[in-house]
Amino acid sequence: MLSRIKEILYAEQPRWELWLPFSLASGIAVYFLLPFEPPSYLGLILVLISVPFIFWEKKKQDYIFFSLFLFLFALGFAISSIRADYLSAPVLEKKTKTVTVKGEISSTDIKGTGQRLVFEQPEIVGWDKENIPRKIRIKVNGLNNKVVAGDKVELRAVLMPPPMPSMPSAYDIPRKFWFEQLGAVGYAVSKVKIISEASSFKGWLDRVRSKINFSIMDRLPKDEAGIAMSLVTGEQGGNSKQIAESYRASGIAHMLSVSGVHMSMLAGLVFGILRLFFALFPGICLRYNTKKISAAIAIIITFCYLLISGMAIPAQRSFIMVTVVLMAVILDKQAISMRSIGIAMILVLLIHPEALMSASFQMSFAAVYALIAAFEIGAGKLHRNILKDKKPKNYILYLLIIWILGTAITDFVASSATTPFAIYHFNRYATYSMLCNLLTAPILGIVVMPALLVAMLLLPFNLASYPLDIAGFGINLMNKTALWIESLPHSVFVIPAMPAWGLGLAVIGGAWLCLWQTRWRLLGLIPIALGMMSPLTHKAPDLVTSQGGGVFAVLTPESKLLIEPSRGDKMAKETWLSKNGEDYNAYDTKKAKKLWLSGFTAADGDPSFFCSSTTLCHYKAKGKHIAIAYDYDALKEACATADIVVSKVNAKKEYCRAPYLIERKGMWKSGSHAVWLEKGGNVTIRSSADEMGSRPWTPK
């Protein structure tokens, strides 16, 4: 058996190097998944230990590969640790009163009817510099000020620490903010006073982006303008909730952010137009390699698009991937290959190792790897079988067949590859994603993107109106298509939370399936299947609270969540329902309110819920009594009778006889709490901070 495995491995030897990017990614993943912060020198020690192995037994290729694999694993761990330490900056610990904030704006974006301003190295009147976060994001109502990056402004605001995850094991917002050096968020309570306008290149660039956004908003209706801004400047705040939700439900949410789809479309469009243009001049074509010239100009134009789009990390990653492909054209290499995508992956992770944990990174690279693997398996056969008859009367028909089949197969492969990540991060599966992409991708590629490109070229001459109208027409068709797809029965399946080990199995299986070439690649289907079944192991908490205890939910006899009727905490409620496999948009708040007031009792009496007063509620399940107290009188009664007390007011354990106490101050500091009850009497209580572990970004 072992000899057979060794034989297969050596048969796959030319593909070994394709696993090296995954070695780097594995080292990064191990760092981020640790429940504690490793010593900062540990990564460097691992790198130093692994280096000698590269030069040991260097005549044997198998030893060289495993040495490089070990080295890249250690390097991934090391650069993650170093970057986390390098980006260390003060983080606000508690909500402030109104303070005066001054400083230079590093970036802006539109949020609803206002702007979000990010201050870099701000000054807060009355505060010591060492206690001020390096970056602060403040929401400002209204769009009249038109503040841009580089402006120095002053305003009064209320500041808060970065929000905690909506529930244990939910998206780690503090980690994201840590690597962005964003130590506080808040909202303005005064108008923005512009002290001085930007004079730097960054300020000029942001003014260009702002002019583009406002030109689009002035010309197009809101729903069309929001999508157009997302495609051109990466500005997503202008999208209405209805349109954003319909794009997610129909499986085309990737079109709402500047990503590989848009970068590749633009690069391909520019490359194709230039090739056609140069073809009009035979003298140039005969004298120069216009293919390479077109690729070089396409890189430059794509880089300009990167600048205009705001240079978000997903856009940077997409630019690197497109550049690698175009550089392969210039160097006479295969433009699209496993090696090129591997190089792009290594470059992105070396620059931003934290990107590995983001959904956009995982989904985009998974889609590209799967598409290249599918191309390797079947593209040549498809080309030979369908294009073998090149008679004019059949050729156009064959091209049409290829276009339809190519679009359908591409979407099927990409959707299949990204499904585990969509389930893990968003708990959603868009049933008609393939159909929606098949209908909207041609509109985006043939109508919208070319029209927007022409509009941006003509904007300095105030001639962008008609191209914007054409783009708006295409976007309107896309919006109507997304809304129609969303309205179809069972357009979205909400799936319970997938554990991290389930996603890990799916990733290992997917890589195994894509990277190997012999038949044993099919063994990758086993871990993929196990990973996709892992949501079946999900066990919903019997009770969950929001950060600060503003709202809580209990589990009904039907294993559905009943959420306390209240306003606010929409993100927490949506997360809770999604993680439990329930659709937030289908949650009947009126029915839930009636059930809350009347209470419920299962047929066998377990569980049960009722409120004995307006300030005290009781949840009983599996032999345990949980009491939720809204004031100190209710808290006193709860502590005397309940096994677990959830207090919406500050309390101290020494004054409460209950075995377990979850109180308001602790819920602010440690975030959401979840309680699991076992029939044997065991109680498990986890907070968001517990799940995050002892890391630099975890509140102390």
The pLDDT tens digits for 32-78 are: 999 999 988 888 888 888 777 666 655 566 677 788 888 999 999 99
pLDDT surpassing 90 at residue 357: yes
Q: Which of the four pLDDT bands, split at 50, 70 and 90, describes residue 421?
A: very high
- Retrieve residue 162's tokens: 């970065």
Q: How many CB atoms neighbour CB 695 within 10 A?
A: 18
Please state whether beta strands 135-141 and 193-196 pair in parallel, antiparallel, or not at all (unpaired).
unpaired
**CA dihedral defined by 400, 406, 409, 414, rounded to 10 degrees?**
-140
Q: Quote the percentage of the chain above a pLDDT of 70.
A: 93
Phi, psi of 374 (to 5 degrees): -65, -40
What is the distance between the alpha carbons of residues 266 and 180, in angstroms, rounded to a whole number? 28
pLDDT attached to residue 633 = 92
pLDDT in tens, 382-420: 555 655 555 555 666 766 777 777 777 777 888 889 999
Q: Would you place residue 361 in the very low, low, confident or very high pLDDT band (cuts 50, 70, 90)?
A: confident
pLDDT of residue 62: 64
By the 8 A CB rule, do 351 and 317 touch? no
**Are the C-beta atoms of residues 266 and 449 closer than 8 Å to each other?**
yes
Show the tokens assigned to 173. Answer: 């917002």
Task: List the single range of 93-97, 252-256, 318-322, 405-409 with lowest mean pLDDT.
Answer: 405-409
CA 50, 56, 62, 64 torsion-angle sign = positive
d(CA 59, CA 336): 30
18/10: higher pLDDT? 18
Per-residue b or e along 286-321, where b marks 16 or more CB atoms closer than 10 Å to that residue's CB: eeeebbeebbbebbebbeebbebbbebbbbbbbbbb
Dist. CA 405–CA 386, nearest whole Å: 11
Q: How far does Cα 647 stand from its chain's mean position?
A: 34
What pLDDT is stored for residue 644 in this prediction? 94
CA distance 66 to 45: 18
Ordered alpha helix ranges (H), 260-337? 260-279, 282-287, 290-308, 313-330
* DSSP-derived secondary structure letter, 379: I
Query: pLDDT, tens digit, for every residue of 264-273?
Result: 878 888 888 8
Direct distance between the N- and C-terminal alpha carbons of the chain, in angstroms, rounded to an integer: 52
Pairing of strands 624-629, 644-647: parallel
Range name among 153-162, 210-219, 506-515 with the lowest pLDDT average: 210-219
The sign one gets for the Cα dihedral 306, 225, 237, 97 is: positive
Copy the structure tokens of residue 277: 């243009």
Residue 379 has pLDDT above 80, yes or no: no
Q: Contact, 542 vs 621, CB < 8 A?
A: yes
Q: The tokens of 375 are what?
A: 């191309």
Average confidence (pLDDT) over 596-609: 90
Q: Element (H or E) spanning 141, and its range?
A: strand 135-141
> What does the pLDDT read at residue 480?
93
Tokens of 443: 């509109």
- State residue 87's pLDDT score: 93
Mean pLDDT for the chain?
86
Per 3-state DSSP, what percentage of the chain is helix, strand, and coil (rounded to 5)? 60, 15, 25
* Nearest residue to 666 (alpha-carbon basis) of 686, 643, 639, 640: 686
| Six-digit token string for 572 | 């927490």
Before 607, cis peptide (omega within 30)? yes
pTM of the model: 0.88
Task: Write out the two tokens for 381.
Answer: 């056969």
Distance CA 169, CA 674 (A): 10
CATH fold for the domain made of 98-199 = OB fold (Dihydrolipoamide Acetyltransferase, E2P) (2.40.50)
pLDDT at position 533: 95
Q: What is the mean pLDDT of residues 639-661?
A: 92
In this structure, are residues 506 and 528 in contact, taking their beta carbons and an 8 Å threshold? Answer: yes
Q: How many residues appear in the chain?
A: 700
- Cα 698–Cα 364–Cα 402 angle in degrees, nearest 5: 165
Alpha carbon distance 163, 186 (integer Å): 11
Q: Check residue 55 and give its pLDDT.
A: 66
Q: Which residue has the tokens 């402006």?
A: 151
Each residue's pLDDT tens digit, 365-376: 898 899 889 888
Number of H helices, E strands in the chain: 26, 19
At 257-311, the pLDDT tens digits run 777 677 887 888 888 888 888 888 888 888 888 888 888 999 999 898 888 887 7
- DSSP type of residue 547: G
Tokens representing residue 353 in the block: 């190792």
Percentage of residues in the chain having pLDDT higher than 90: 42
Bridging pattern class, strands 660-663 and 644-647: parallel
